[in-house]
Amino acid sequence: MIAEGDLGGACYALAAEIYPLCRSITGNGVRQTLDILARHIPLERVEVPTGTPMFDWTAPREWNIRDAWVKDPSGRKVIDFKASNLHVLNYSVPVHKKVSLAELKEHCFTLPDQPDLIPYRTSYHAERWGFCLSHRALSALPEGTYEVFIDSDLSDGSLTYGEYLHEGQSGREFLLSAHICHPSLANDNCSGLALLTLLARTLRSRKTRYSYRFLFAPGTVGALAWLSANEDRLAIDHGLVVSCVGDSGGPTYKSSRRGDAFIDRAMRHVLEHSGLDPVLLDFSPYGYDERQYCSPGFDLPVGLFQRSAFGTFPEYHTSADNLDFIAPEHLRTSFDIIMKVIEIVEADYTPVNLSPKGEPQLGRRGLYSSIGGDSGGVTSVMPLLWVLNLADGKHTLLDMAERSGMPFGELLRAAQLLREADLLT
């Protein structure tokens, strides 16, 4: 176990541990990943049998793969699943036969504009077999007969997801969700799985006002399975989908469907005071599982947090999204951003000024500089003045932070000082 003081290193180490596993929307790769995450937090594993109704969907058949390769006319392996699990079209049906080069190419996927990279491709809803490889490698294959082999099976089984609930004092709930269906892609989404696991482990040792539900589920079908199973008891006050949090880009936040939910405001506030160069996006019905949580039948207050936005970086869904693409310091920054949002969620309240008729005399309470005319004193007293002025029972501390342009933490500290001086309740 890595010390909590090195959270960036801990996140990276966990991402590196789960990186080699071949995950998909179902199968043993998901279970193996959950086994590793469960060493850090007490995960509950849920198995949803194939064919289970999930609104307009049904739980798919389970896919597992053991090996796959292509041998050239000389018998040499030119594509090898054991070298990279991206080499196989995810959800490929089993095959073992000999084909011409022309027929092999009909089942191959490459990136001509990125000729040295292997793409990540899937075929969840159509039964086919296929391989992914670099365009340069495909172009170098000689004419002749090739032997193709995929040792996989697609059969009735179950869809698997993991869930952990840290219970708070109020019964109100914050949902944090990461997709677990991608194979060896470090940023998308080993980084999100690792970060949320370490975040859950950190919160376990704390008493919190809110409950925090962590969901590790396959994209789309996993979120639908969870929503379907919990439809009668959904009480989500805040939510974040977390992915692509290990690179140096952004940070990026896409608002919930509501646009002005508390989570949207808190995320915007933290990012605007982060000292980074954030990208703030309006909601759109395309992306990760926020589009399921924000579907009109639920309209949950769930946004999407990333560093570089999905689809905008050249490494996205390619073999270049490897462990060299993410770094401990970027994971730590992402972790800290989410923790600051949680701190706002936990600490926000609506204070009331106990001396609202004119400004109370701060100097005799030790809250104002005794030297008049000092511009530094004005700066230091401004959080106190903003809190006193807006503490009319109608404004929360986050309202005050947004109105004043000051960081939430400064106003929280000012409110604490005013309460100690019996000027605020």
Q: With left for phi above 0 and alpha for psi between -120 and 50, is residue 259 left, alpha or beta?
A: left
Would you call 409 exposed, middle or buried from its count of C-beta atoms within 10 A (0-12, 13-18, 19+)? Answer: middle
Closest CA to 15 of 211, 135, 181, 195: 195
- Mean confidence (pLDDT) of the chain: 95
Q: How confident is the model at residue 5 (pLDDT cuts 50, 70, 90)?
A: low
Average pLDDT over residues 383-397: 96
- pLDDT computed for residue 232 by the predictor: 87
Q: Is 188 annotated as a binding residue?
A: yes
Strand order in the sheet with 252-254: 44-49, 158-166, 211-217, 173-179, 236-242, 302-306, 252-254, 279-281
Domain range list for the chain? 4-60+159-347, 70-155, 363-420
Q: Is 330 annotated as a binding residue?
A: no
- How far apart CA 395 and CA 139 sit, in angstroms, is 65
Average pLDDT over residues 207-236: 96
Say if residue 375's pLDDT is above 70. no
What 8-state DSSP symbol labels residue 141?
Answer: P
- pLDDT computed for residue 374 by the predictor: 44
Instruction: Kindly report the CATH class assigned to 4-60+159-347.
Output: alpha beta
Say if residue 330's pLDDT is above 70. yes
Say if residue 293's pLDDT is above 60. yes
Q: How confident is the model at residue 234 (pLDDT cuts 50, 70, 90)?
A: confident
Q: Is 348 annotated as a binding residue?
A: no
Average pLDDT over residues 16-25: 98
3-class SS of residue 188? helix
- pLDDT computed for residue 373 by the predictor: 41
Phi, psi (rounded to 5 degrees) for 109: -125, 130
Q: How confident is the model at residue 366 (pLDDT cuts 50, 70, 90)?
A: confident
Q: How confident is the model at residue 233 (pLDDT cuts 50, 70, 90)?
A: confident
Say if residue 167's pLDDT is above 50. yes
What is the Rg, in whole angstroms, of the alpha carbon atoms belonging to the chain? 26
Confidence (pTM)? 0.95
End-to-end CA distance of the chain: 43
Average pLDDT over residues 21-43: 98
Domain 70-155 is found in CATH 3.40.50.300: no
Q: What is the pLDDT of residues 82-124, one digit of tens each?
A: 999 999 999 999 999 999 999 999 999 999 999 999 999 999 9
Of the chain, the percentage scoring pLDDT greater than 70 comes to 96
| Amino acid at site 309 | A
H-run or E-run covering 255 = none
Q: How confident is the model at residue 50 (pLDDT cuts 50, 70, 90)?
A: very high
Q: What is the pLDDT of residues 121-154, one digit of tens each?
A: 999 999 999 999 999 999 999 999 999 999 999 9
Q: How confident is the model at residue 368 (pLDDT cuts 50, 70, 90)?
A: confident
3-class SS of residue 67? strand
H-run or E-run covering 222 = helix 221-230
Average pLDDT over residues 246-262: 98
H-run or E-run covering 320 = none
